[in-house]
Structure 1
Amino acid sequence: MSLFFLDPVSVGLVGRFYIVFAILLSVLLLRERFDRKEIVPIVLCMIGTALVSDFSGDVNNILGLACALGYTFSFALTNTLAKKALINIDEKILLLYNQGTAVVILGGFLLGSGQLSLAPNLGMGAVAISAFCSGFLGLLLFYRGLKLISFRDANLIRALNPIFVLVYSLPFFTIQMTPAFLLGGFCIILSIVWMSLPMKKVGVD
């Protein structure tokens, strides 16, 4: 839904707020320690998100920002719960439950609304490729990575996504490289790099 209101690069950069949600959820649900030094990059990420989304009061921008942040939080919560579940089950089983639940809910909604169409077209092919790359292969590799490295490190690697989105989007979409957009993108990337630096962990009482 956020793509109806924002361009793909903006959605990708706003999606980097994921790392903020992931850190907070890892503290609350996984009992990981929070370093006070992470406050600065979190604030930078918040500032960058506001600049990239052009928070000027336009209803479409506000709706787009709300949808992007809602998706980002949901994805962070899903992956946090997945990290806990992967202790006991295989990543392929977890992926099956994940995708199966989505198919049942969305399929039921589309059938009820009468919008489900199985007529083959170019759009369906593009969506199928996208679903395979992100919904299946991407998640399978991410869940596998969660079993081998820490939740924090896996999410920091995933935070490189906006760079790939920008490269892929330039040939297909008109992206306004305004000073605010560039500054916001810089703040977000800087926050990601900052959080990737080794830090001495200090527990917060």
Structure 2
Amino acid sequence: MKQKTLFTTIAVIFSFLAFSGCTGNSQKGTLTVDNILSNPGEYVGKPITVEGLATHVCAKSGMKLFLQGSTDAQSIRAESNSTLGKFNEECVNNKVVVKGTLVEERITEADLQKMEKEITEGTNVTHGEGGEGCETEQKTEGLAVGSSEMGRVNDFRTRIAERKASEGKDYLSFYHIAADSYHIVKDNAKR
């Protein structure tokens, strides 16, 4: 009888763990930008909730929101969609929580050649002024602020070569959040 009770207890515990989604890799609450960027591969393709300081909403489309972590070097882009619509400008300079899926974008030599061709033909799309990209986007990509589009291509090419030599990977990885929802965090301490 004791064995049957022990077996039933173990079965109940196992069932609870299995159905509650309790795994070692499951997300525990809201992540920071620093959490995501310290090991992005762990989160790619998974639903995440991230909190950070909103530093910029793309003025051209309103569909990109940039979240900063502990420093301005720790930054990630959230991209909206037609269902969610434009990000509210009131997000800027406030803590914002974004729910969505982490996406990896890989840049290869073929991508760089396409970018060069578009720059030469004048068909490339820029989001800054005078051939320069958006300063916030440049920081997120690890570029010097004010870099030209061709400077961006050359920098990426150098970084791909360095990564191939050190890691054997012939591409750069950039990450963004495909946003499903977001909200501004209300600071109760100021009330």
Same fold (TM over 0.5): no
Higher fraction of strand:
2
Larger of the two Rg values belongs to structure: 2
Instruction: Give TM-score scaled by structure 2 length.
Output: 0.29
- Structure with the largest fraction of helix: 1
Name which structure has the greater RCO, CA cutoff 8 Å, separation 6+: 1
